[in-house]
Chains A and B, each alone.
Chain A
Amino acid sequence: MTGSEFVPLSLTPLLIGVFAAVACALPGNFLVLRRQALIGDAISHVVLPGIVVAFLITGTIATVPMMLGAAGAAILAVILIEAIRRLGRIEPGAAMGVVFTTMFAAGVLLLEQSDTSSVHLDVEHALYGNLESLIWLDATGWASLLDPQALRGLPPELPRMAVTLLAVLLFTLVLWRPLKLSTFDEGFARTMGIHTPALGLALVIVAAVAAVAAFDAVGSIIVIAMFICPPAAARMMTNRLETQVGWSVLFAVIAAVSGYVLAGYGPLWLGARDAVSAAGMIATMSGVILALAALFGPCRNRTGAPQQG
C-alpha cells in the first residue's frame, strides 16, 4: 500500500479513531476507578435525543448546534439522574437506567415523528457512526500533509477531534492531583480544600464532551467501549495510576488501529469482498485486549483490592 492510497483513504479515519479512543480512555480511567463507568453508557444513549432536538430546532445538520444539543442532553441527563436518585431514594444504577432509556426512547420517537428523510440522521448512524466515510479526497500522497490547498479539504471531524483530545488532555494534566486525590480518598481530598462534588461534575462533563465529539465521528458504540475497556484492561496491568493511564492510552491506540485495519482489510484477507464496520471492529478489538489483560495481566486479581459491597 502506497502513500497515495493510504493518505486519502485511511490516514484521516485512522487518526480520528485514535484521537476519539484516547480522548474517551483518559477520563474513562477515573470513571472506572470511581465506579461511574456506566455514566459513559448513559451519556452515549442520551446524545441521540439531544441531536434530534437540535436538528428539529435548527432544521439543518450543522455541527455546532448538534454538539450543543448533545452536550445539553448529557448535562440534563446527569441532573435528572441525580434528582431521581435523591428525590426518590433510588440506587444510582436504577436511576440511570430510568433516565437514559427514557431519553433514548424519546429521541427515537422524535426521529420517527420528524421528517428526516432528506438528511442523514438515523439511529444506526448514531450507534455505529461512519468512520470509513471520513476520507480526505484532496490528498494525493504524503506530500499533501504540507499542502495548504489539500489540508483545507480535511474532513472537519479531524481537527474537531484533535481539539477535543487536547482539551481532555489539558483537563487531565491541570487537575491531575485533585482528580487523583478525590478518586482514591474523597474524604481526604475534601479536607485538603478540594471541592469534590464540583470536581466530580467537571469530570462527568469532560467525559460528556469527549463522548459527544467522538460520537459525531465514530458512533456511540466506540464511545462506550473506549470509556471502559482500555482503562479496565490497564487496571489489570498495574497498581499505579500514572502507569495505568499510560497503559490505557496505549491500549486505546492499539484497539483503534488494529480495529480499523482489521475492519478494512481483514475481510479481504479472508477472501470476502467488502469491509465490515470499523466502529464495531474497534470495540471488538478493545474487548480482545481486555480479555487478554484479564487472563494474563500481572495485577488482574483482587488481592489487595478493596472488598466489593
Chain B
Amino acid sequence: MLWDALSLQLGYNATLVAIGATLLGIAAGVTGTFLFLRKRALVSDAVSHATLPGVGLAFIVMVALGGDGRNLIGLLAGSALSATAGLMCLSWLTRRTRLAEDAAIGAVLSVFFGFGIVLLTVIQTMGSGRQAGLEGFLLGSTAGMLFSDAMIIAIGGALTLAVILLLRRPMTLVAFDPEFAVARGVPVHRVDLAMMGLVMAVTVVGLKIVGLILIVALLIIPPVAARFWSERSDRVVLLAGVFGGLSGYVGAAISASAPNLPTGPIIVLVGFALFAVSLLLAPGRGVLAAVLRHLRFQRRVHLRQGLLALAQGHPIYERLTLRLLRRAGLARADGVATDEGRARAAKALRDERRWEIVRGDLAHEAAAALYDGLRDIETVLTRDQISEIDRRIGGPQEVRA
C-alpha cells in the first residue's frame, strides 16, 4: 500500500497531492533556509497565522458579491493580502517601537489569528451552508482536492522557486552579513521584503495542503536539518530543498496509504524524522560525531599523560590510562613500560621540554600559541628549529654524586 503510494499509483487525487506537496516542500525548504540563516525563522509563524483573517474576509466578500465563497484563488489572494498586512505591522512594530522582534511576532500572530477566528464565527452564522471547508485551512485538507487547486499549488511552488533562483545571491549576502551587504550597495531592506514575500508565497500556497498552523514547520525544519550537513550556504539551500521535497513527497504518500492520517501533520513528522537523523548522525555538527570527537580527544589526553607519567616514573592510578597504554602495547598490566613505551615516553617528555623552551621564547610566539598539551611539536616547527631547540636543551649530562 505504502509502496503504491510512493510510486504514485494510488489514484488521481493522491498523485496530485503528492506532487503538490513535493513542490511545496522544495519551495518551503529553500525559502526557509534564507530565513533561518537570517535568524528570523519564527517570522514565518506570524506570517502564516496572519493569513487567517484574509481567508475569512475573502470568503465574506465573495459571498457578498454573490459568488462561490470557496474559490481557491480568491481565498488565497485574500490570505496574501492579510499576510502582507501582518508583515507590515510586524516590521512597523520592530522598527518604530521599542518592542523586540519576538514580542512583535507574538503580538501579530495572536491578534491576527484571533481576528480570523472572529471572522470564522461570523461566517458560521452567515446562514448559508456553503461555509464548510474554511476550517480546513487551519490544518490543511487534501481530501477532494481539485485538479485546478493542484495546478495552483504547483504553479505557485514553481514560481517561488524561480524567484529564489533569481534572488539567491543578494539573499545569501544579506542572510550572512547585512552590514557588508549594505556596503556593497545591496538594498538590504528590499531584499528582506522579498524574502518575506517568498515566505508569504510559500505560506499561501501551502495553506491548502498543510494548513496555516503547520506550514511554519516546513519553513523551519528542513533548513535546520540541512544546516547540520554543510557549512556552505549553497549546499545548505540545496539540501533543505531536498529535505523539504522529501518530507512533502513521503508525507503525502504515507497519508494517502491509510485512513485517518492527515497530510499536514504527517509531512511535518517526516520532516522531523529527517531532522532527528541529521541531529544525531551528521558528520561534523551531529551529536554522534561530537561524541566520537570527544572520546578521541579523551583517549589522546590519557595516553599523553600516561606517557609523561611513565617517563617520570610516576605510578599510574587512572584505570582508563592504564588500559589505553596496555592496548597500545606501551605498558604491561602492572603499569611497567614496555620497550616501545619507554621510547615513546622519553620522546613525550623531550617534546614537553621542547615546548617549554618554545613557550619561553618570544621568537616562537606564534608557534607557542598552538600549544595545547597534545600537539606534536613536529607539526608546528621545522626540523631545523627543533634541532636548534635541542641544542639549547643539550644532551644527557653526568649526574654528580
Contact = CB atoms under 8 A, between A and B. Distances in A.
Binding partners A and B: yes
Interface of A: 32, 35-38, 40-41, 45, 84, 87-91, 93-98, 101-102, 104-106, 108-109, 112-113, 123-124, 127-128, 221-222, 224-225, 227-229, 231-232, 235-236, 263, 267, 272-277, 279-284, 286-287, 290, 294, 299-302, 305, 308
Question: How extensive is the interface on chain B, given as a class?
Answer: 35 or more
13 contacts: A35-B100, A35-B102, A38-B102, A41-B109, A93-B41, A97-B44, A105-B269, A106-B265, A124-B135, A267-B125, A277-B117, A280-B120, A300-B97
Contact of B221 (A40, A98, A227, A267): A98
Interface stretch (B211-219, B294-302, B383-391): B211-219
B76 interface: no
Interface in B100-145: 100-107, 109-118, 120-122, 125, 135, 138-139
A109 B266 contact: yes
Contact of A97 (B113, B114, B216): B216
Interface string B242-278: 0000000000000000001110111011001001000
Contacts of A232: 99, 103-104, 107
Contact of A89 (B103, B217, B264, B285): B285
B117 A221 contact: yes
A93 B109 CA distance: 15
Contacts of A273: 125
Contacts of B216: 97, 101
B111 A93 contact: no
B101 A225 contact: no
Given A88-B285, A283-B113, A36 B260 contact: no
A101 B122 contact: no
Nearest to B52: A280
Which has the most chain A C-beta neighbours within 10 Å: B39, B118, B139, B216? B118
Given A88-B224, A224-B106, A282 B114 contact: yes
B98 interface: yes
A88 B279 contact: yes
Given A101-B214, A282-B114, A287-B115, A308 B221 contact: no
Contact of B103 (A228, A277, A281): A228
A96 B102 CA distance: 12
Contact of B45 (A87, A97, A221): A97
Nearest to A239: B98
Contact of B98 (A91, A227, A236, A274): A236
Given A279-B117, A300-B96, 20 more contacts: A37-B100, A38-B105, A90-B224, A90-B227, A93-B40, A93-B41, A97-B41, A97-B42, A101-B220, A101-B268, A123-B139, A127-B138, A221-B110, A277-B118, A277-B120, A280-B113, A280-B117, A294-B97, A294-B99, A299-B98
A283 B108 CA distance: 10
A279 B110 CA distance: 11
A108 B262 contact: yes
B287 interface: yes
Contacts of A229: 107, 110-111
B287 A87 contact: yes
B93 interface: yes
Interface in B72-93: 92-93
A101 B267 CA distance: 11
A232 B96 CA distance: 13
Contacts of B94: 308
Contacts of A127: 117, 138
Contacts of B261: 109, 112-113
Nearest to A272: B125
B138 A280 contact: no
A157 B358 CA distance: 74
Given A98-B220, A112-B262, A228 B106 contact: yes
A255 B202 CA distance: 33
Nearest to A262: B118
A230 to B, nearest CB: 10
B97 A102 contact: no
B371 interface: no
A104 B262 CA distance: 13
A280 B220 contact: no
Contacts of B41: 91, 93-94, 97
A286 B41 CA distance: 25
Contacts of A41: 45, 106, 109-110
Contacts of B262: 108-109, 112
Contacts of A101: 214, 216-217, 220-221, 268
A279 B272 CA distance: 31
A105 B114 contact: no
A105 B255 CA distance: 13
B355 interface: no
B34 interface: no
Given A87-B287, A98-B272, A280 B114 contact: yes
Contact of A109 (B111, B224, B265): B265
Contact of A284 (B111, B125, B285): B111
Closest 10 CB pairs of A and B: A283-B114, A287-B111, A280-B117, A101-B217, A225-B110, A105-B265, A105-B268, A97-B220, A228-B106, A274-B125
A102 B268 contact: yes
Contact of B110 (A228, A231, A267): A228
A267 B109 CA distance: 24
B97 to A, nearest CB: 5
B59 interface: no
A102 B269 contact: yes
